[in-house]
Structure 1
Amino acid sequence: MAERYSSFDRRGWRWFAQRVTAAFLIVVLAFHFMLLHFVNHAYEITLAGTTARMSQVGYFTTMVLFLVTATFHGVNGVYNALVNQGLDGTQKKAVAAVLVAASVLLVVQGIRVALAMNGMDVSF
């Protein structure tokens, strides 16, 4: 019988963070689908409505946390899947660097969009 292997160390912070972010994402995704797919249908979503929602501190904070959490959860999952497939050494470090850089760019751009939707000027 094949032995099960996982790069996640159950005592490590990344293992714990993967589980916590999964739980958070389930709750926030349920909120998102309820609000933007059942309460308001896709054809009812407008820029003015988005700006109004994003101007509420609680909604804005939730969406930014959603962005950061989903980014971490996805990138951490991809990284560990690659490690489980045998990635190691210099390739592992290079992939980690690329994933971290992509994550930072994604989060920065996502926060810029959230701020723009909040009515703030985000031009440099």
Structure 2
Amino acid sequence: MAERYSSFAPGGTAWLLQRVTAAFLVVVLAFHFFLLHFVNHAAEIEFAGTQARMENVGYFLTMVSFLVAGTFHGVNGVYNALINQGLDGTQKKVVLAVLVIASLALIAQGIYVATTMAGWT
């Protein structure tokens, strides 16, 4: 029988954060779909409504947390999938650096858009 291999060390920080962000994303994604697809139908979503929602500090913090958790969860998953495929050495360091830089850029851009939508910039 083939041995199971995972780059996640059970009980490690990355392993725990991957699961915590997954649970958080499921809950916030359900909230997002409920609010933006059932309470407000897609045809009713307008720029002004988005601005009004982002002005609410609770909503703003939820969406920024959604952005950070989603970015971490996705990038950490891709990184560990690449390690599971045999990525190591210098390639591993380069991929990690590129993913970290891309993640920080995505989060910075997302926070900039969120603060602009909230009217804070």
| TM-score with structure 1 setting the length | 0.96
Q: What's the Cα RMSD here?
A: 0.6
For 1:97 and 1:43, the matched residues in 2 are separated by 41
Amino acid at match of 1:10: P
The answer for unaligned runs of 5 or more in structure 2 is none
1:102 alignment counterpart: 102
Q: Between Structure 1 and Structure 2, how many residues are aligned?
A: 121
- Corresponding residue for residue 43 of structure 1: 43
Which deviations, in whole Å up to 9, do the C-alpha atoms of 1:50-94 show, x marking residues without a partner? 010000010000000000000000000000000000000000000
Answer yes or no: is 1:6 the counterpart of 2:11: no
**Partner Cα distance (2:93, 2:12) in 1:** 19
Q: Matches of 2:37 and 2:50 in 1, distance apart? A: 14
Structure 1, unmatched stretches of 5+, are none
- Taking only the aligned residue pairs, the percentage that are identical comes to 73
With the length of structure 2 as denominator, give the TM-score of the two structures. Answer: 0.98
Partner of 2:71: 71
Query: 1:11 deviation in Å?
Result: 2.3
Report the alpha carbon displacement of residue 43 of structure 1 after superposing the two structures with TM: 1.0
Q: Distance in 1 between matches of 2:11 and 2:96?
A: 21
CA–CA separation in structure 2 for the residues paired with 1:70 and 1:11:
21
